[in-house]
Amino acid sequence: MSLQYSKLTPETPPAAEFPPPGTPDIEIARSVQPQSILLLAQQRFGLPGESLVPFGHYKAKLDMAYVDTSDTASRGKLVLVTAITPTPAGEGKTTTSVGLNDGFNRLGVRSSVCLREPSLGPCFGMKGGAAGGGRAQVIPMEDINLHFNGDFHAITTAHNLLASLIDNHIHWGNEAGLDPRYVNWRRVMDLTDRSLRNMVCGLGGAAHGVPRETGFDITVSSEIMAILCLADGRADLKQRLGNIIVGRRSDMTPVTVRDLGVEGALTVLLKEALQPNLVQSLEHNPVFIHGGPFANIAHGCNSVTATRAALALNDVVVTEAGFGADLGAEKFIDIKCRHTGLRPDAAVVVCTIRALKMQGGVPRSQLSSPDLAALREGAANLERHIRNLQQFGLTPVVCINRFPDDTEDELALVQSISEELGVRAVSADHWATGGEGATELAQAVLDQMDEGTPEVKFLYEDSLPLADKIRTIATRIYHAGSVEFSTAAKKQLEEYESLGFGHLPVCIAKTQYSFSADSSVKGAPSGHTLPVREVRLAAGAGFVVAVCGDIMTMPGLPRRPAALDIALDEDGLVVGLT
Rounded to the nearest 10 degrees, the angle between the axes of helix 466-476 and helix 487-498 is 120
What is the C-alpha separation between 448 and 411, in angstroms, rounded? 21
What is the C-alpha separation between 112 and 109, in angstroms, rounded? 10
Can you give the pLDDT at residue 16? 42
64-110 pLDDT, tens digit each:
999 999 887 889 999 999 999 999 988 999 999 999 999 999 999 99
* Amino acid (one-letter) located at 110: R
Residue 95 designated active-site: yes
Can you give the pLDDT at residue 1? 40
Residue 185 designated active-site: no
Q: Which residue positions form the known binding site for ATP?
A: 87-94
Tell me what the pLDDT averaged over the chain comes to: 94
Can you give the pLDDT at residue 55? 95
Enclosing H/E stretch for 484: strand 482-485
Q: What is the DSSP string of 269-293?
A: HTTTTTSPEEEEETT--EEEE----
Is pLDDT of 127 > 80? no
Catalytic-labelled residue, pool 185, 392, 431, 543: 431
Strand, coil or helix: what is 341?
A: coil
Q: What separation in angstroms does the CA of 141 have from each of 4, 18, 30, 102, 131?
A: 33, 15, 8, 17, 6
Q: Which residue positions form the known binding site?
A: 87-94
Can you give the pLDDT at residue 147? 87
**Predicted model pTM:** 0.94
Q: Specify the pairing of strand 567-568 against strand 574-575.
A: antiparallel
What is the C-alpha separation between 114 and 319, in angstroms, rounded? 5
Is pLDDT of 62 > 80? yes
Is pLDDT of 12 > 80? no
The mean per-residue pLDDT over the stretch 210-235 comes to 96
Can you give the pLDDT at residue 74? 83
Residue 93 designated active-site: yes
pLDDT band at 440; cut points 50, 70, 90: very high
Residue 295 designated active-site: yes
Is pLDDT of 13 > 60? no
Buried b (16+ CB within 10 A) or exposed e, 25-55: bbebbbebebbebbebbeebbebeeebbeeb
Catalytic-labelled residue, pool 95, 156, 214, 267: 95
Residue 116 designated active-site: yes
Residue 515 designated active-site: no
Strand, coil or helix: what is 405?
A: coil
* Amino acid (one-letter) located at 573: L
Determine which of 23-37, 164-178, 217-231 has the lowest per-residue pLDDT on average: 23-37
What is the C-alpha separation between 402 and 400, in angstroms, rounded? 6
Can you give the pLDDT at residue 24? 87
Is residue 122 within 8 A of residue 387, CB to CB? The reply is: no
Catalytic-labelled residue, pool 23, 30, 127, 380: 127
Please, where are the H alpha helices in 421-517? 430-433, 439-450, 466-476, 487-498
Catalytic-labelled residue, pool 45, 104, 185, 403: 403
Is residue 507 within 8 A of residue 546, CB to CB? The reply is: yes
* Amino acid (one-letter) located at 99: G
